Amino acid sequence: MNRPLMFYLRQVQAVQIFPAKVSVITPTCGRIEGLKNAIASVDAQSYPLWEHLIVCDGYFPAVHSLSLANQDPRRHYYFTPAIRNFGNLQRNVGIVRSRGEFLLFLDDDNVIYPEALDQMVTGFDSENIDLVFCPINYDHVKHGVQSQILMPSPGFTVGEVDSLNAMIRRDLVVHCNGWSDSYFADFELFRKAADSNGTRYLYSNIIGHHR
């Protein structure tokens, strides 16, 4: 059962190494080739004030080595016991360890384009904005979706939003108690967040690719 996020906030103390504005959180389960691409896409960002937290579901030596290969102090590696719960526990561990004001959830089979962080951060041009959505390219063959542009709109429902669509204030994620253990946890989190706080929909450049 997924423990409340506040449990992890009490149990884990993180150390800030680099002054990050954005924390990119990547859950993984040993998918090396996809993770290589996700890491490279973060390294290519035009926006420099990021940290990248890679949280592995179980310990994989190859993931550990890859995560820290370039010795960038902005990248951190953690692992949990093998849970196999869609990466939701790993996202919560990443939230606890993060120190950025804003969070972006980048799965190990996804990539972000070079201007993604810069574009999304500019959406928070008011203290009243807590959640920013941007369009992504979306491929999901196992669900019969070959290729489309995915962008939620007000009142979005299940299947109309992906974790990669959103950048969200860390404080709001904590207020919403993080990720549940549900397969639809991304929808549940962003629906709750969008209903209760200021949300901006940026119908602008595509910021990444869900593969």
Q: Are 105 and 28 in contact (CB under 8 A)?
A: no
Q: Are 133 and 200 in contact (CB under 8 A)?
A: yes
For the chain, the domains span 5-210
| Structure token pair of residue 134 | 């941007």
The end-to-end CA distance of the chain, in Å, is 28
Identify the three-state secondary structure at position 145: strand
How do residues 147-164 score in pLDDT, each as one tens digit?
899 999 999 999 999 999
CATH topology of domain 5-210: Spore Coat Polysaccharide Biosynthesis Protein SpsA; Chain A (3.90.550)
Give the contacts of 177 (CB within 8 A, at least 6 positions apart): 4, 5, 6
How do residues 55-76 score in pLDDT, each as one tens digit?
999 999 999 999 999 899 999 9
Residue 13: pLDDT over 80: no
- Identify the residue whose tokens are 């959406």: 123
pLDDT on residue 3: 55
pLDDT on residue 16: 46
Instruction: Pick 62 or 16 by higher pLDDT.
Output: 62
Mean pLDDT in residue range 190-211? 94
